[in-house]
């Protein structure tokens, strides 16, 4: 469908660009994955870029929702400003960045945002502003990479900025010039990077950037531009067409590149985490991580960073983050045991498991508990719910023919349903159990038996989750109306089955009241999940209360870590 062209780069143009970019990467994802041979031939660049942009889209949509601007309606003056929209785009990309390519893309978007937000509360910018933004984006991305390599997305970004600087006119002309310049640079990447030349492909990250610039042109013109250079040789070869350069299939070439990476010289792990730290600490972190491995990219600022590195000692990379600040959303991937996207290196493909459980969990402690029970976990930080693409990626990591999906949050039901539908198109049998809390997920996982029939297992897990009432003790962030009355910021709230039932001033007292209300209807087992902010004595107090007042009721206690709420309660 043709888009309504945007004359200036304003908040609505940011929203349109993000949406078009996500659609375009969705169409090109498999092709970009197929030509991913550098820096590691793990076939996930397209997927990582898609997930990064999906996170940016979610952040931009949240800003528009906060301003109550309906999708598809023209601006009326009540929507977000340009700085708000580009700031949300950059922040969303930063917290959702995946892989080397996604991390660099996050810095490109942040570089653009830094220029556009520095222009004050202007409602829009013109062609000159867009030129400056593209130049700063390219420069800041290059600075974020410890050892820039030519023939990569950095080269393509610089070429786009160079071409934009030579363009006269409005945003449409600048965007078109950047797109064409990037396309020319992309076509030249095999001549700059030997691994690309041997594989007969262009750089996958650069191909992704060209896709985003094509979406930028469409934002301002209303129609997609003509095709630029692509990685078509390998993409075609993967479908059985001989590569005209040398007779090898693209899969053979990817395997050869993977074998080169796998000869013992390349790092074994990819480590990614978000980090809350000061600038001085991050400067020291860069030096330490640079000595530990390669492909180091550290992006962000203003106290929040996204760290990406390839190392042999994953623990040391995480410890370096702990010394610098507070790392979280830690992801460690072993290149030798990648997911279903990973190209082979002479090894037989990993056998699919018959059945697996994929669960969303709110804290590191619960992630460990679920993992010990055999589940593949997706960590959800407060205010940062996982996107559907992240859940699909987790299903792929589980590498099973049958998957039980536990969203563990009522707000994630539609996201999980979309992920399940996508996984089914890839041949995985998926059952979504609508768990609304992590304690319901624990109950479901406790009765999970991979050896019985899939339908029987799903029914048993659904029944166990449904028989578990759930509660949460949280702290109010602001004054608001609730089903139990008006609460003030700082009040302790006791929520039972999602509704506020108790308002108080003390976590232990509110938890005791909530537990009494839940056990009044009966119960056999109480599950307590303690967050880092829970008082040290609350578990002992509640356990004693159950022993004294409720005969034949057992209590189990788990440590949830940084889970957002001080306490989760389940009653089976």
Q: Which two tokens stand for residue 123?
A: 């409602």
Residue 445: pLDDT band with limits 50, 70, 90: very high
CB 51, CB 29: distance < 8 Å: no
Q: What is the pLDDT of residues 38-71, one digit of tens each?
A: 887 767 788 889 989 998 999 999 899 887 644 4
Name the nearest CA neighbour of 465 among 333, 335, 571: 571
pLDDT exceeds cutoff 50 at 86: yes
Half-sphere exposure of 28 (CA within 13 A, CB side): 30
Can you tell me the mean pLDDT for 365-382?
85
Q: What is the pLDDT of residues 471-493, one digit of tens each?
A: 999 999 888 898 889 999 999 99
> Which pLDDT score, from 0 to 100, does residue 339 have?
40
pTM score, two decimals? 0.62
Q: Residue 389: CB partners within 8 Å, gap ≥ 6?
A: 47, 50, 51, 54, 419
pLDDT exceeds cutoff 80 at 188: yes
Residue 228: pLDDT band with limits 50, 70, 90: low
Q: Which two tokens stand for residue 240?
A: 């059985």
> Which pLDDT score, from 0 to 100, does residue 541 have?
93
> Which pLDDT score, from 0 to 100, does residue 388 have?
78
> Which pLDDT score, from 0 to 100, does residue 306 have?
93
> Which pLDDT score, from 0 to 100, does residue 325 have?
92
Least confident of 53-57, 138-142, 252-256, 334-338: 252-256
> Which pLDDT score, from 0 to 100, does residue 246 have?
37
Can you tell me the mean pLDDT for 245-251?
37
Residue 282: pLDDT band with limits 50, 70, 90: very high
pLDDT exceeds cutoff 70 at 245: no
Residue 336 DSSP class: G
Q: What is the pLDDT of residues 495-546, one digit of tens each?
A: 999 899 999 999 999 999 999 999 988 899 999 999 888 998 999 999 999 9
Least confident of 126-135, 223-232, 274-283, 335-344: 335-344
Q: What is the pLDDT of residues 122-174, one digit of tens each?
A: 657 888 899 999 999 999 999 999 899 999 999 999 999 999 998 888 899 99
Least confident of 23-32, 48-57, 331-340: 331-340
Instruction: For residue 208, report the phi and psi dihedrals to the nearest 5 degrees.
Output: -65, -40
Higher-scoring residue by pLDDT: 350, 119: 119
Query: For tokens 């082979």, what's the residue?
Result: 344
Q: What is the pLDDT of residues 449-469, one digit of tens each?
A: 998 999 999 999 999 999 999
Helix (H) or strand (E) holding 242: none
Say how many C-beta atoms besides its own lie within 10 A of residue 337's C-beta: 12
Higher-scoring residue by pLDDT: 264, 364: 364
DSSP string, 441-455: HHHHHHT--TTS-HH
**Gap between the Cα atoms of 202 and 195, Å rounded:** 10
pLDDT exceeds cutoff 60 at 77: no
Residue 264: pLDDT band with limits 50, 70, 90: very low
> Which pLDDT score, from 0 to 100, does residue 350 have?
57
Q: Is 512 exposed, middle or buried (0-12, 13-18, 19+ CB in 10 A)?
A: buried
**Gap between the Cα atoms of 343 and 249, Å rounded:** 13
Q: What is the pLDDT of residues 94-108, one digit of tens each?
A: 988 888 899 999 999
> Which pLDDT score, from 0 to 100, does residue 366 have?
86
> Which pLDDT score, from 0 to 100, does residue 4 have?
54
Least confident of 64-73, 243-252, 296-305, 477-486: 243-252
Q: What is the pLDDT of residues 114-128, one digit of tens each?
A: 998 886 656 578 888
pLDDT exceeds cutoff 90 at 248: no
Task: Share the mean pLDDT of the chain.
Answer: 84
Name the nearest CA neighbour of 553 among 571, 540, 567: 571
DSSP string, 484-537: TEEE-TT-EEEEETTEEEEEES-HHHHHHHHHHHHHTT--SEEEEEEETTS-TT
């Amino acid at each position: 469908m043709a888009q309504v062209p945007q004359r200036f780069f304003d908040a609505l143009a940011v929203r349109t660009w993000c949406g078009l970019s996500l659609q375009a990467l969705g169409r090109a994802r498999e092709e970009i994955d197929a030509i991913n041979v550098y820096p590691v031939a793990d076939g996930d660049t397209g997927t990582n870029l898609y997930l990064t942009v999906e996170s940016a889209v979610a952040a931009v949509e949240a800003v528009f929702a906060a301003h109550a601007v309906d999708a598809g309606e023209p601006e009326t003056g009540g929507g977000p400003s340009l700085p708000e929209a580009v700031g949300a785009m950059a922040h969303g990309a930063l917290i959702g960045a995946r892989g080397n390519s996604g991390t660099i893309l996050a810095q490109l978007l942040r570089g653009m945002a830094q220029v556009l937000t520095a222009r004050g509360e202007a409602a829009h910018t013109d062609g000159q502003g867009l030129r400056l933004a593209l130049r700063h984006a390219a420069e800041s991305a290059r600075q974020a990479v410890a050892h820039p390599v030519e023939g990569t997305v950095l080269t393509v970004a610089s070429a786009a900025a160079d071409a934009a600087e030579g363009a006269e006119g409005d945003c449409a002309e600048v965007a078109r010039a950047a797109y064409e310049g990037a396309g020319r640079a992309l076509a030249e990447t095999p001549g700059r990077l030997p691994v690309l030349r041997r594989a007969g492909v262009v750089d996958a990250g650069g191909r992704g950037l060209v896709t985003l610039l094509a979406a930028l042109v469409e934002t301002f013109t209303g129609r997609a531009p003509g095709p630029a250079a692509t990685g078509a040789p390998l993409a075609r070869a993967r479908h059985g067409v001989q590569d005209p350069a040398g007779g090898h299939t693209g899969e053979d070439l990817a395997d050869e590149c993977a074998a080169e990476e796998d000869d013992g010289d390349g790092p074994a792990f990819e480590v990614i985490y978000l980090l809350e730290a000061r600038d001085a600490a991050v400067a020291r972190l860069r030096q330490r991580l640079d000595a530990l491995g390669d492909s180091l990219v550290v992006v962000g600022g203003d106290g929040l960073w996204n760290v990406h590195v390839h190392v042999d000692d994953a623990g040391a990379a995480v410890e370096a983050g702990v010394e610098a600040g507070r790392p979280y959303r830690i992801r460690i991937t072993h290149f030798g045991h990648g997911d279903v996207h990973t190209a082979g290196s002479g090894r037989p493909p990993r056998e699919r498991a018959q059945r697996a459980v994929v669960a969303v969990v709110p804290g590191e402690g619960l992630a460990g508990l679920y993992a010990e029970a055999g589940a593949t976990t997706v960590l959800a930080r407060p205010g940062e719910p996982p996107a559907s693409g992240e859940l699909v990626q987790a299903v792929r990591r589980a590498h099973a023919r049958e998957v039980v999906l536990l969203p563990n949050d009522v707000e994630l039901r539609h996201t999980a349903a979309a992920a399940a539908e996508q996984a089914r198109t890839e041949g995985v049998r998926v059952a979504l159990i609508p768990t609304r809390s992590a304690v319901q997920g624990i109950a479901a996982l406790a009765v999970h038996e991979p050896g019985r029939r899939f339908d029987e297992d799903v029914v048993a897990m659904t029944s166990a989750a449904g028989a578990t009432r759930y509660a949460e003790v949280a702290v109010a962030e602001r004054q608001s109306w609730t089903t139990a009355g008006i609460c003030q910021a700082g009040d302790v709230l006791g929520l039972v089955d999602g509704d506020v039932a108790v308002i108080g001033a003390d976590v232990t007292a509110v938890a005791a009241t909530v537990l009494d209300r839940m056990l009044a209807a009966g119960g056999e087992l109480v599950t307590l999940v303690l967050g880092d902010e829970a008082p040290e004595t609350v578990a002992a107090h509640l356990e004693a209360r159950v022993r004294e007042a409720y005969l034949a009721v057992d209590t189990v206690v788990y440590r949830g870590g940084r889970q957002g709420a001080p306490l989760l309660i389940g009653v089976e």
